Structures are given as structure tokens and as C-alpha cells.
Chain A
């Protein structure tokens, strides 16, 4: 789907009475939700309502539905941070397969597996996610170049949280 079609679709959605729609195909997937789709008791907590600014659009290369996280106190995690995946660049995102702690290198003094600009081959280790003292090495699923690292070393990451923005080779 090209940008024009996408924008036309957004426009149609906004004018329609549809509360929520999902799309996946030709390597893209996204969900559109109007604030009615979130419904629920109003005014539960401030930050939770931030997610209800409609229409909510989230786009990622793989089917990664709208992450919703509420927080009256600042959440240590942020599924959608300032570096939220944005459509348009043709880039893809590598998501965390588990909950855990993100490490860029196998040990504190070792060099990082993947720096920005580095070319990575499919199957190459790109980071470690530690859960319950088990070090799980994450391997790239495609040949690519690292465009951006979306998480700080030592941060907690959620399931399906975007870790790297990459440009497919």
C-alpha cells in the first residue's frame, strides 16, 4: 500500500462510523481506533487517557497491535516512546520476543553486538535479553542495517517492544 492510499484510507476512516479497524498485507499491518473503541469508565487516570486521543494510529512492519500501557506513576517501560515506529521509511523493527532486561553486549566490557550503521546478516546475534538470569541471545531475522537502537542498555523491555529500527538489506 502506498502513502497516498494509506492517507486516503485514514481520511475515510475518520469520516466513517467505524470505531476500529485492522489491516495487514503486503508487509504492513496497522490498527486504527477511534476513542470510542477504547470506551470504558472515563477519567480513571490521567496518563491512561493519553492513549485515547483519537484516532489512534500505530504502524509497524509486523502485526504489532497498539501497545497500551497506563501509568499514574512513570512506567519504567514504555512500549511506545518518542522513538515509536513511524511508517514511511521502509524500515522494519525488531521486537523483543520476551520480557526481560536488554543488553547490547555479552558482558559490560565487551563490544556491543550491533551499533548504529552496522550491517547485520540474518542469524547474527544483535543483543541479549535476560530473564531470570537466563541470557537469551536475540538473532536478526533478516539481513539489515541498524538504523536506530530504541532501548538503552540495561533497560527493561516488554514482550513485542521494538528494540531496533533496521533497514532491510
Chain B
């Protein structure tokens, strides 16, 4: 077992990692920017190193500063947390070159999964469906019609070099293809200097479903159930739950079978998530996140596992303490992310408690919420035997949570969780936009 580990991160996730390390008997080294002096992760760690100014590019994203801090404090491993450099293969390589253990999959695996085309091809190879679409660029109506009919309407025309909604057109019938191809291509050309477009099946209000994976790098893969992260604002997850109200046991089995093969064949090591879009009983592979995720506590609740502990164990070459063949999902867990609406200083904090309630945060009375970093300040998670009970528990806990000095999104989270559509469990990624006016 390793003796000392550095956390190349800050905030709530750094605090979370320190907790598991302490239980494992591993000393922790925190890093911090000048904006985070006095931050909770700095105070909880055994050792703390100031690595740079507030600007992330010069501190939490500075590979030389991080490697130097890890090496000079005698660390044996580096945990990247989430965000920042957590999926940066170059950083992972530098960590390994410095003779340290990278708490994550091999850098080559990160690279492979980071490339969308390769990742899709790999998923297909192991029997996971991907979004149906044109194999290559589409230029004319004659090329487009057979593809659109094969996918089934509606379809979406997308810019090959695109992103952020530019060069995207949704088409519902043959007659509209020609005009929209031209518009999408012109828009793509104007925005990305590349008019190349392609066609994909358009998912209407799909669910965002993902599987939690822990793998030992030798082919053993544990699937710890799915999470539903359909409540999103501009692709930012707000509420997550496990299991998903839209996943049947049969779907879960099909997803898991493909994921197991994929992670096993990649000799994947550590914690990972495989994301799908689900429509009805169909699901389509989106991507793999080669790291732990913010919403991991819901999976911890329903599987009774410490995912950070298992992640560290498999990455340092110790056996995982969970049996992949004996994973039992128990009850229902829901998480509400608590986001700051503006920076500031917390003047008062009252943390909810009671059975089945967990609050992961870096806040304390006096803590500074800096404008330089992510707005998420905490995650409130509730667990009970079924969805209605877990929901009631989460709402009860939200009522107990008091944060003063920094405005947070507690009210809008309460409104979403109390909404009839949310309560019904029948919703997709369009739910937030649908409710936005009332929030």
C-alpha cells in the first residue's frame, strides 16, 4: 500500500478524496492556489502546497507545478479528482514519468476514449449501439434521403467541426432536407470555416443514463448500477439518481453486458463511467468518462461501496474489496447539486442530518466561494428504500440546509424535486428547459 498521495484538485472532491485516504491510512498532500488559502481541503490534508495564483491555468492546471509538488513532498501517487486535469492523458504520462502512480486508467486508454470516432467504433465492436447516422459527410438531398429514412425521422444535421448548437438543424420529413442541408452547411462554414455536415437520428427528450464501473486493469469489471442524470441545465447536471426510473432490468443487463466487454478488453483500470442516451427501451452509447464523477455518491449509497477507496486500491495494484459478481443494488438514492449563484463568503452554514442523508461540501462558516472556480459548492444526497421515500427525504434535508452569505440554488432544486413530472419519473433531458419559467 502507498503511504502518501497528492490530490491535484480542490473543493468538495479534494475533501472527499482526503476522507477515503485517511480511512485507508494514506497521508494526503493538498495543493492550492492563492485564492484557496484557508480552504477546507488545505486544512484537512496532512500537507499542503501553494502551487500558484488563482487563475487555474497557472495553478490547478499547471503540470510542472503539480508534478514538482508531488515529487518534492514524497508522494507515491496522484489523484486527479474531477475536472481540471482528470482526463488529460499528457498529465497522466507526466505523473508516470515522474515515477508516481496515476489514479486512473492508462494514458493510452484515456486517449482512445477521448477520441469520439474511435470510442464509438470501439463501443460498436462490443455490441453497444451508437446513435444511428450517416457514416460520413452528406452533401446532397440524394445522399441524405436514404440515410434519414434509415435512421427514422426526426433527424439532426450537424456540423462535422461544430459544437455549441451552431450548424445544427432538426428535420422532420424528406421535403425539408435539401433546404436545411444548405442552411446547416452555410452556418457551419460561417462558424467553423468548414461546411461539412452529417446526419444523425435526433433524440427527442432522451434520458441521460450512465453506468458506474470499477475495473482492476486485469480484465475484472464491476458494474455498480446506473445513474440517471436527465435533469440538466445547458448540459450541466443538476439532479442525479440511482437507479434510473427509465431503465428496466432487461435494459440494465444489455447495457452492462456491453460495458463489461468494453472495459474488460481495454484492460481499464480505476473508476469510470459509460454514458448513454436512452429513448424508451433503446439506448445509444455516448462516451466514457475515464475518471470518478461528481455524482458518484448516489451509486455509493445503493451499492454500499466507497468508490474512491476502490478506485485507489485498484490503481495501486491492491485487490478491489468488492466482488463484481455479487453486487446488490439496494433502495433509491437522489442527489441535488448545490451551486453558488454568485461568489462570496459563507457567514452561516447549517448541515442537514438524520438517517440516509449525506452532504459533501467544502463549505464552512467563513469559507470563501471564489469567482475563479466551479460554482458547485456541495451535493446533498438522500437514500431510502424506494423513490418516493428517497425524494421525501431529500426534500426534508433540503429544508434543513441553510447557507447564508452566498446565494445558492436550493429553492429551484426544491421546485424541480417537487414538480409532478419529476415525481412521475417520466422525463428526459428537456425537463429543465420545460420548467425553467417556473423556477
Which A residues fall within an 8 A CB radius of B? 19, 36-41, 44-45, 48, 51, 65-73, 75-77, 79, 98-101, 131-132, 134, 156, 158-161
Contacts and interface: CB of A to CB of B under 8 A. Distances in A.
Contacts of B17: none
Nearest to A42: B364
B417 interface: no
A161 B48 CA distance: 13
Contacts of A65: 34, 37
B366 A98 contact: no
Interface in B334-365: 346, 364-365
A67 B37 contact: yes
Interface stretch (B50-58, B78-86, B298-306): B50-58
B365 A158 contact: no
B45 interface: yes
Contact of B64 (A19, A75, A134): A134
Interface in B28-82: 30, 33-34, 37-38, 40, 42-53, 59, 63-65, 67-69, 72-74
A161 B12 CA distance: 26
Most B C-beta atoms less than 10 A away, residue of A67, A71, A99, A158: A99
B367 interface: yes
Contacts of A69: 42, 47-50
Pairs A-B, 4 closest by C-beta atoms: A39-B366, A40-B364, A156-B72, A39-B365
B380 to A, nearest CB: 18
A99 B65 CA distance: 5
Contacts of B72: 76, 99-101, 156
Contacts of A40: 40, 43, 364-367
Interface of B: 27, 30, 33-34, 37-38, 40, 42-53, 59, 63-65, 67-69, 72-74, 94, 98, 346, 364-367
A39 B48 contact: no
Contacts of A75: 47-48
A99 B44 contact: no
A99 B33 CA distance: 11
A71 B48 contact: yes
A131 B68 contact: yes
B42 A132 contact: no
B67 A38 contact: no
Contacts of A72: 27, 46
Contact of A70 (B43, B68, B365): B43
Contacts of B49: 69, 77, 99, 156, 158
Nearest to A66: B37
A73 B43 contact: no
Contacts of A71: 46-48
A155 B372 CA distance: 30
Given A67-B50, A160-B50, A98 B65 contact: yes
A100 B50 CA distance: 11
Contacts of B51: 99, 158-159
A39 B43 CA distance: 11
Contacts of B40: 40
A135 to B, nearest CB: 12
A48 B68 contact: no
A131 B65 contact: yes
A68 B47 contact: no
A99 B68 contact: yes
Given A98-B65, A99-B65, A100-B68, A73 B364 contact: no
B175 to A, nearest CB: 60
30 contacts: A39-B346, A39-B365, A39-B367, A40-B367, A45-B44, A48-B44, A65-B37, A66-B37, A66-B38, A69-B50, A71-B46, A71-B47, A77-B47, A77-B49, A98-B65, A98-B68, A99-B49, A100-B68, A101-B68, A131-B67, A132-B68, A134-B64, A156-B49, A156-B69, A156-B72, A156-B73, A158-B51, A159-B51, A159-B53, A161-B50
Given A71-B47, A159-B53, A38 B38 contact: yes
